[in-house]
Amino acid sequence: MMKAATLQTLLTPWLLFVIVVTIPFIAWGGAQEWDLSKLLTLSAFPLLGLWAWGIMWTHYVLECLRNLSEKFQNNAAYQKISGVLVLLFLFLHPGLLALQQFRLTEKLPPDSYFSYVSSSQEVFILFGIISVLIFLSFEVFNRIKETPFMQRNWRWVSLSQMVAMTLIFFHGLGIGSILESPSLELYWVALGVLLIPCFGVVGREDWSSGR
């Protein structure tokens, strides 16, 4: 039993990681005719956004599984490595767009972001900006998580992250060019639907524990 639990702890996070990284990459690669040199260009920024959100999605699924079963324990290595990747993609996704838009329009964010889309899509840009700020705030709050004040109010930090995940989901649906692929859009929606019960389990644990 212990070996089975250990295997689940070791393998499940990385299996989920492979899924959320590989599926968007295959869709992006096909759209780019497998010119992998474009990974270093602006055309990669939608892919980086899908990767960042997808990896954060795995964190919610894993936390949900840990709350439901003692077989699933925290995989510290995965949390650390995936957390670094999320931060990297969170900076690169809007950063690549900001750089390209500055070259084209000589505008700085957020104006350069708004000029990238039509006026009817500006709300989705706003969703993205708000979400990135919320996600980055987590890095600050998490470092002082053990203080009495944060322990009493951690539920609000948890709730804010769920709000950010939801906003990014609609941000992607609204302006994500890579989601123009019907199959990838179905994948995105499926992840969003699966996230709902995870929100319920994780949120219930945070609120019931008074964290």
Mean pLDDT of 138-156: 89
Give the HSE-up count for residue 7: Cα atoms under 13 Å, Cβ half-sphere: 4
Dump pLDDT digits (tens) for 70-120: 778 889 899 999 999 999 999 999 999 999 999 999 999 999 999 999 999
pLDDT, averaged across the chain:
90
Give the C-alpha separation, 90 to 45, whole Å.
10
Give the C-alpha separation, 125 to 57, whole Å.
20
Residue 66, Cβ neighbours under 10 Å: how many? 18
Give the C-alpha separation, 161 to 149, whole Å.
18
Give the C-alpha separation, 209 to 2, whole Å.
27
Mean pLDDT of 10-28: 94
Cα three-residue angle 74-158-90, rounded to 5 degrees: 80
Whether cis (ω within 30° of 0) applies to the bond prior to 110 is yes
Name which of 42-56, 124-138, 142-156, 182-196 the model is least confident about: 142-156
* pTM score of the predicted model: 0.92
Residue 33, Cβ neighbours under 10 Å: how many? 7
Name which of 5-9, 33-37, 45-49, 149-153 the model is least confident about: 5-9
pLDDT score of 132: 95
Residue 54, both tokens: 């997808």
Residue 18, both tokens: 């492979």
Q: Which amino acid is at 25?
A: F
Give the dihedral sign, CA 132/162/80/39. Answer: negative
Residue 2, both tokens: 């212990």
pLDDT score of 197: 96
Of the chain, the end-to-end C-alpha distance in Å amounts to: 31
Name which of 9-18, 29-38, 196-205 the model is least confident about: 29-38
Q: How confident is the model at residue 2 (pLDDT cuts 50, 70, 90)?
A: very low
